[in-house]
Amino acid sequence: MDRDFWSWFMTCLFGSFVLTCFVIVLTDKPLVRSDIFPEKSSKNLDLKESSSNDVYLPQNDPFVLLADSNLSEPYGFYRALDYLVVADPHRSSGKGYVRFYDVQTKKENEDKRYSAKFPAQILEFGQKQILIDNGSGGSIKIIQDGIVLSTYEGVSDPKDGFFDFEENLMYIADRGNKRILVLDTNLEVVAEWVPKNNFEPNGITFGSNGKAYVTDKISKKVWVFENGSITGSFVPDSPERFLYPGGITTDYWGRVYVSDYSADKIYIFSEDGDYLGLIDKDLINDSSFKKPRNLFFDKSSGRMLVSAGDRLTNAGRIWSVPVPLLEE
Amino acid sequence: MKGKIKEKGFSISGALLLLFAVWLGVKLGLIFMLWVTAVN
């Protein structure tokens, strides 16, 4: 084989590499696929019916709450009264930030912004924040006005957390250690929940019934915990299944919402795990509704706030999508 | 002329190697895009 041949070889190799990348980007074809395509449940509540029977809450507000060009791939976030705090890891550059946005003007308050390696979730308690940082192995930090007050480093690959205001305890989805870690506000370990099955928690929330709901990356289920032990699990009704259950939260009425990052959908369940319906691009008639991650039920608007975006496009958004009313 | 000039032309092994390059490029592209869009 002469030199000419090897230059042809490299041209073919590189050319087909670039062409493949282009084709995937242009066709926007999901690389992680399942032969099970989620369909709407028979009990699904369709937004189109909303005008006639008020199945969903009023639709006057736009569905995109925040679409800032600086926001690359938002993970966890919360809405306080007049501002939105977003954990924005920016995985492609490795320079993550916690950003503060004014809800009315949609502008970022850059004075409040602070950097973090890989902020996965941000929670609020009092005037302080709990930062669940996935970077450098993982850590839990208590932060006030951008200053780190205390740090706990005994976690591995933490993804999510929940703060219980009644007990003043935080529950951390400690994915790398396959457990739920319970910490107090001094970051002292109070308890740990370690199920016997192979388990990697992606998200955690609590219902008003006192049960904890945990999304599991491995078994692709939602596990129900009571007093630290698993008492049940649920998935969407067949043929619907989870591809990648991530963010999880409950609403005012106790229903459980689970985002599926790979299926581009948010599933709605009753507090007992009965599948009620889903929120997807068809519901809000916007095909750019993709890759939902973390969820936050906004009591002030009665809507579900959804962080979405992927590393490829670096076009992160916070969506504000309608939730169904209870069928009374 | 002192020696014969080797003529370039079609050879099965060369074609197969080029095909292998294309196949490898496609696979590498797929793996790269999977990595880029990894869920985490």
Q: Which of A49-63, A109-123, A265-279, A311-325 has the lowest mean pLDDT?
A: A49-63
Out of B29, B36, B40, the one facing A17 most closely (by C-beta) is B29
The answer, yes or no, to whether residue A325 has pLDDT greater than 90, is no
The answer, yes or no, to whether residue A297 has pLDDT greater than 50, is yes
Is A21's CB within 8 Å of B29's CB?
yes
Q: What is the per-residue pLDDT across A63-99, written as a single tens digit (0 to 9) for each?
A: 898 988 888 889 999 999 889 999 999 877 778 999 9
Q: What is the per-residue pLDDT across A234-283, written as a single tens digit (0 to 9) for each?
A: 999 766 689 999 999 999 888 999 999 988 999 999 999 999 888 988 88
B15 reaches A (C-beta below 8 A): no
- The predicted pLDDT at position A27 comes to 73
Record: fold of A32-321: Neuraminidase (2.120.10)
- Taking one residue from A and the other from B, the number of pairs with CB-CB distance under 8 angstroms is 71
A147 reaches B (C-beta below 8 A): no
Task: Single out the residue of A300, A248, A240 nearest to residue A275, CA to CA.
Answer: A240
Is A4's CB within 8 Å of B34's CB?
no
* Spacing of C-alpha A284 from chain mean position: 19
Q: What is the per-residue pLDDT across A163-183, written as a single tens digit (0 to 9) for each?
A: 999 999 999 999 999 999 999
Task: Single out the residue of A146, A271, A120 nearest to residue A208, CA to CA.
Answer: A271
- The predicted pLDDT at position B17 comes to 92
Contacts of B32 in chain A (CB under 8 A): 17, 21
Task: Single out the residue of B29, B10, B32 nearest to residue B21, CA to CA.
Answer: B29
Mean pLDDT across chain A: 86
Could you tell me if A96 and A90 are in contact, meaning their C-beta atoms sit under 8 angstroms apart? yes
- Domain ranges across chain A: 32-321
Out of B17, B25, B39, the one facing A20 most closely (by C-beta) is B25
β-pairing, A64-66 vs A317-321, is: antiparallel
Q: Which of A13-17, A26-30, A65-69, A244-248 has the lowest mean pLDDT?
A: A26-30
> What number is the average pLDDT over the span A28-41?
48
The answer, yes or no, to whether residue A204 has pLDDT greater than 60, is yes
Task: Single out the residue of A66, A79, A71, A75 nearest to residue A105, CA to CA.
Answer: A66
Alpha-carbon span A63 to A150, nearest angstrom? 37
- Exposure letters A13-43 (e unless 16+ CB within 10 A, then b): beebbeebbeebeeeeeeeeeeeeebeebee
- Percent of chain A clearing pLDDT 70 (strictly above): 87
Q: Which of A102-116, A235-249, B1-15 has the lowest mean pLDDT?
A: B1-15
> What number is the average pLDDT over the span A222-236?
94
Task: Single out the residue of A314, A205, A293 nearest to residue A244, CA to CA.
Answer: A293
Instruction: Give me the torsion for CA of A221, A222, A227, A228, rounded to 10°.
Output: 50
Residue B13's closest chain A neighbor by CA? A1
- The predicted pLDDT at position A328 comes to 44
- The predicted pLDDT at position A189 comes to 96
Directed axis angle between helix B12-36 and helix A3-27, to 10°? 40
Alpha-carbon span A285 to B1, nearest angstrom? 76
Q: Which of A58-67, A304-313, B10-19 has the lowest mean pLDDT?
A: A58-67
B39: distance to nearest CA of chain A, Å?
Answer: 7
Q: What is the per-residue pLDDT across A127-139, written as a single tens digit (0 to 9) for each?
A: 899 999 998 889 9
